[in-house]
Amino acid sequence: MTVNRPRAQATSQSSVPPLPPTGPAPARLWRSGAAVRDLRGEDGPHELCFGPYDLVVVTGLPGGGKSTLMRRTVHGGLRIDSQDTRDRWDARLAPYLPYVLYRPLVRLVHYAGLRRALRSGAPVVVHDCGTQPWVRAWLARTARRRGAALHLVLLDVAPGTALAGQRERGRGVSPYAFRRHCRAAARLLRLLRRGELPRGCDSAVLLDRESAAALRRIGFAPVPDNLPVTAVVSSRR
């Protein structure tokens, strides 16, 4: 059974310019029915709220603060971050082996965990490096099968800031890999600046360090009480 449900929302105690209205709504509430929302330079919103079965991808440069943002703000859904997987295996193997030797294992474990999370039917927030297009395609297919939506959150920071973040955490990617990340992020940013979305995504939010710092919660709406547990609930148009 497929029924309609509210689309993703963001709330703030500060003044947020509204999207084109789809109906009466409080001034502090905007709906992500518009494709792209650029919040850079704004002190808010303080919350991003998505539908109860939606998927959210958080992307940006390595060292830009994606993992920190997710740990601090994700509530009510499953948080899948490859950095968590690496940290667990680093604690066990880093004293004995260079990371390059067990990196394939870390990736395998990470994607196995992502697969379990997606099969659970729960809402999921996923850390995405942006250089593996097949991952986003996988998430888009899963969202379609759920009758839900895939949302993109891009944390836009300057390359120098991201490199400083890598130095601060004591590890980073190779110069070659970082250039790949920069090219992928630049392509995505150009697309969003034109008001266009990557294939499979239903909405996108652009954040900088300031608006990300103002964000307190990335969460999901509760499942309406009148829906059976087995219902497939749609937020797509």
Give the per-residue SS3 of 87-102: HHHHHHHCCCCCHHHH
Number of domains into which the chain is organized: 1
Residues comprising the chain, all counted: 237
Q: Are strands 124-128 and 78-80 parallel, antiparallel or unpaired?
A: parallel
Q: DSSP letter at 21?
A: P
Residue pair 55/151 in contact (Cβ under 8 Å)? The answer is yes
In a domain, 53, yes or no: yes
In a domain, 91, yes or no: no
pLDDT value for 69:
95
pLDDT value for 32:
46
pLDDT value for 158:
94
Q: Are strands 150-155 and 203-207 parallel, antiparallel or unpaired?
A: parallel
In a domain, 231, yes or no: no
CATH number at residue 177: 3.40.50.300
In a domain, 67, yes or no: yes
In a domain, 94, yes or no: no
In a domain, 111, yes or no: no
In a domain, 88, yes or no: no
Q: What is the pTM of this model?
A: 0.81
Beta strand ranges found along the chain (DSSP E): 2-4, 9-11, 29-31, 36-38, 47-50, 55-60, 78-80, 124-128, 150-155, 203-207, 217-220, 232-234
Range of the domain at 39: 2-10+32-77+122-223
Strand, helix or coil for residue 15: coil
Q: DSSP letter at 23?
A: S
pLDDT value for 227:
52
In a domain, 83, yes or no: no
**pLDDT averaged over consecutive 10-residue blocks of the chain (237 residues)?**
43 35 33 74 86 94 93 92 93 94 95 96 90 90 95 95 90 89 93 90 94 93 62 38
pLDDT value for 231:
34
